[in-house]
Structure 1
Amino acid sequence: MAGRSSSPFAGRSWYDFALEYMDVRWRQTAAKTRCEDNDGLCALTLAMIRGRTLRPDEELLRRALRLRAFVVPRPADREVPGDERMAVRWVARATRPVDDLLDPEVMKGVVRSLSARADGSAVPGSTQRHCRKALVNAVGYAFGGGGAGDGLIPEIRWQVPRDDEEVDPRVLVNPGQARSLLDALSYVGLYGRARGRRLVGFFAGMYYAGLRPEEAVAVKHQDCVLPAHGWGRCVLHETRPQAGKKYTDSGLNHDERGLKSRRSGAVRVVPPPPQLVTFWRQSVDTFGTAADGRMFFTERGRVLGSSGYCTTLRDARVLALPPDLVESPLVARAYDLRHSALSTWLDAGVDPTEVAVRAGNTVETLLRTYAKCLYGRQTVANDRIDKFLGEYE
């Protein structure tokens, strides 16, 4: 056993420490990061439990920790169902002391439980990265701050699998398929309720302007110039990432943030092509804007939720695509429209620096992630190669 530290948390249970640590992190982070911290601390806490006597059901433990323990403010006991209240109390008694993590064997056991499921299968790389980040930050906070936590982990040789950052070319739509999908949206849902029609401009913004979903949700009419002819102008400065009511300061499902990976107050100018200008003008003419100027909103004026627009996209795919492509990963997610947009611009020969500026990415990220062929473009390339080779036959 390694020697005990002089940490102020020495001798305290991991659970008590994790509650205090979450209080500190909550004040410093945005809603989506709070959600990731919640996931990471739930997994870490389960990994720090010793003994299985009278252990509650695993699903109950995870639910109780996620919904009752690692949120701020925490619900009062009277607001918590009895089984979840008992589960949290059991965890409080069953977790190890924080400084047990200084024991290499304990740390190895924690890492094993975070990287593999009970059946031996590997935990997805993205989940492992969240857990590793949570472990490094928490250990650093407990034993010295800064990057101190990272120093305890390399000896464990936790090789977190790196997810493939390149976009799967099977998800990319060509311009004809994109237009068919946008046309099909108009036929989704009852005409009077306009479930699909309301979202035509929203999805068009992702395809023709390369917007992220959280950016498209927040586009405001007053930030756009939409001429009757030609290209327009849109100034992006706000995003509405969806995190959940428990994690936002406002108690709403969506947080209000600036642009991704940009300083506070930064803007990005995106020129909508004529096709998108037409879609956006039609949307405003038909549905108006929300009270704050947002162009895309629910029937009641609320911020668009991902579950709603993802369901609508799924329904539109069935109408727009042939059966074999409906079963494929082609544009299976809303984000695939942004992937398709950036790949289209690169395929059209637009300078990567300009594409990166419009997309809000670095050139390095752009080329590593988006430099893919569009659906069907491989056939065009093959024909050109055949023609060239044929000249020498």
Structure 2
Amino acid sequence: MGHTFKVKIWSIRERTWARSTSFELRWMVGNEEQSNTFDTFTLADNRRAELMVAVQRGEAFDEATGLPVSELRRRNDVPWYRHAREYIDMKWTDSPASTRRTLAEAMATVTPALVTDTRGMADNRTVRTALYSWAFNRHRWDDEPPEELRAVLTWFERKSLPISALTDPLVTRRALDSLKRKLDGTTAASISIRRKRAIFHNALEYAIEAGRLAENPIHKVKWSLPDPIDEVIDPATVPNPKLTAKLLDAVRSQGARGRRLHAFFGCLYYGTARPAEAVALDRTGCRSLPKRGWGLLAYQRTRPRVGSAWTNSGLAHDDRGLKKRPRKAVRLVPIPPELVAMLRWHIEAYGFAPDGRLFRTNRNGLLQDTGYGVVWERARKAVLPRHLLDTDLAKDPSSLRPAGLSGQLSAGVAPQTVAQRAGHSVEVLLRVYARFVHDTDEDANRRISEWLQRWG
């Protein structure tokens, strides 16, 4: 059922039962007959007049309830705070832990902008804690928050604007502007703003589905990001092949802990793995590790560390499929002999964890970014000149993946092949990684000259 302009309103009918008399108002909306019974003729006639006015205005009626759409929307009008929690509830079950955290962050950012006034509002940090960690974390809805945070949540329940207030473009602009700011008041990164705007937009689309808004008010506001969106990684952060080799050697030289992580870092560089993919790599993922030549890895799972507050298991690491891929998708990646040798040595020395994982701590636990980050930082200090230590060059292990991918592009591998191994689209690959490709002019000139000579 939906909305229709096909409405027919009949005259009021008097009905007598025993000693009582009532007055029935009947009307047809689409193919659905509706009726209301009133104690007096005056009440029934007033209601009939309200429906007639809606018809004369040319207003659509809802077939399921028989009500004018504007009236239905008024009945459905709820405070933004309640709507935001219902939106979180709707999205929660099917969202991975990292997405749950992102949803909560977006709602916690925009909600303080959608209040009647700020009198009595707590400080920014307390507000963010109450909203992010409690109001928009469904895992904690059955828990009792600390007294200070409970007072903050009660304040938002009382002060929250009705969702219909967003039909005012100035209110919508105020909400959008709040997405630009970090907790300290400084401007947030463009990619963060865009992500939060997308979530806010989706929450308003949900309001349309719930009959609380007629259209998405964002489209009526001429609003833009504070600066151009730039998703690419700074080339200054990515080590070249010579530096990468030195860093990997410096990792291996750090005793037992470094040797245990050497192949892990190798997977990020040679095997195009994201850190969470390498953490989840197991026995079945090592498809082929021959004594000579190229091998083959299969990535199918990721174990990102998002915090126990957001996962169904209560563990700090989520367990999910590949990024932006179906749950059972598999990415096959040929790996060079250098990485094959690293992995064969690692398996010979440490074997597999009881659950089949390739990389693990001494106690069979999941690798933590804080743990392998310490090893990486020591490698940086051992290799980089002093004047580069305070820069972002190879600042963390995640720089190994773009270093490896840009190296493949520099080697002349077809972009579609590199993109497939990286788990990216070609468009993303070229936008993000192509700028790392340096010193290729001489080779490009040679290829062009050969082509010109071949065709005279």
- For normalisation by structure 2, the TM-score amounts to 0.76
Taking a change above 3 Å as real, the CA distance of residues 257 and 149 of structure 1, as seen in their structure-2 partners, is farther
Q: How does 1:1-393 map to 2 (within 5 A)?
A: 6-7=72-73, 10-76=76-142, 78=144, 80-116=145-181, 121-144=186-209, 151-160=216-225, 161-188=227-254, 191=255, 194-224=256-286, 225-373=288-436, 377-378=438-439
Residue 270 of structure 1 aligns to a residue in which SS?
strand
Aligned partners of 2:142, 2:362: CA distance in 1, in Å?
35
Residue 370 of structure 1 aligns to a residue in which SS?
helix
Which deviates further from its counterpart, 328-337 or 7-16? Answer: 7-16
From the CA coordinates, give the structure whose radius of gyration is larger.
2
2:283 partner amino acid: H
Shift in Å, 1:149? 8.9
Residue 73 of structure 1 aligns to a residue in which SS?
helix
Shift in Å, 1:130? 2.4
Taking a change above 3 Å as real, the CA distance of residues 17 and 166 of structure 1, as seen in their structure-2 partners, is closer
Taking a change above 3 Å as real, the CA distance of residues 60 and 149 of structure 1, as seen in their structure-2 partners, is farther
Aligned partners of 1:5, 1:103: CA distance in 2, in Å?
18
Q: Which has the higher contact order (CA 8 A, sep 6+)?
A: 1
Residue 394 of structure 2 aligns to a residue in which SS?
coil
Shift in Å, 1:37? 0.4
Report the counterpart of residue 391 of structure 1 in structure 2.
none
Instruction: State, as a whole percentage, how many aligned pairs show the same letter.
Output: 37
2:130 partner amino acid: A
Retained in 2: the 8 A contact 1:231–1:272? yes
Shift in Å, 1:187? 3.9
Report the counterpart of residue 64 of structure 2 in structure 1.
none
Retained in 2: the 8 A contact 1:32–1:247? yes
Shift in Å, 1:186? 2.7
Shift in Å, 1:285? 1.9
Which deviates further from its counterpart, 337-346 or 170-179? Answer: 170-179
Shift in Å, 1:120? 6.8
Aligned partners of 2:214, 2:202: CA distance in 1, in Å?
6
Report the counterpart of residue 55 of structure 2 in structure 1.
none
Residue 310 of structure 2 aligns to a residue in which SS?
coil
Residue 234 of structure 1 aligns to a residue in which SS?
strand
Aligned partners of 1:303, 1:311: CA distance in 2, in Å?
16
Taking a change above 3 Å as real, the CA distance of residues 118 and 209 of structure 1, as seen in their structure-2 partners, is closer
- For normalisation by structure 1, the TM-score amounts to 0.87
Aligned residue pairs, count:
374
Retained in 2: the 8 A contact 1:9–1:17? no
Shift in Å, 1:92? 1.6
2:150 partner amino acid: R
Taking a change above 3 Å as real, the CA distance of residues 372 and 97 of structure 1, as seen in their structure-2 partners, is same
2:244 partner amino acid: A
Per residue, is there more strand in 1 or in 2? 2
Taking a change above 3 Å as real, the CA distance of residues 316 and 145 of structure 1, as seen in their structure-2 partners, is farther
Retained in 2: the 8 A contact 1:34–1:247? yes
Q: Deviations over 1:325-348 (max 9, x none)?
A: 323322112221110101001101
Shift in Å, 1:356? 1.4
Aligned partners of 1:205, 1:149: CA distance in 2, in Å?
51
2:80 partner amino acid: W
Q: Deviations over 1:161-194 (max 9, x none)?
A: 4432333221222222111111111344xx4xx3
1:198 partner amino acid: R
Shift in Å, 1:36? 0.7
Q: Which runs of 5+ in 1 are unaligned?
A: 386-393
Residue 270 of structure 2 aligns to a residue in which SS?
helix
Retained in 2: the 8 A contact 1:4–1:10? no
What root-mean-square deviation, in Å, do the aligned CA atoms of Structure 1 and Structure 2 show? Answer: 2.6
Shift in Å, 1:33? 1.1
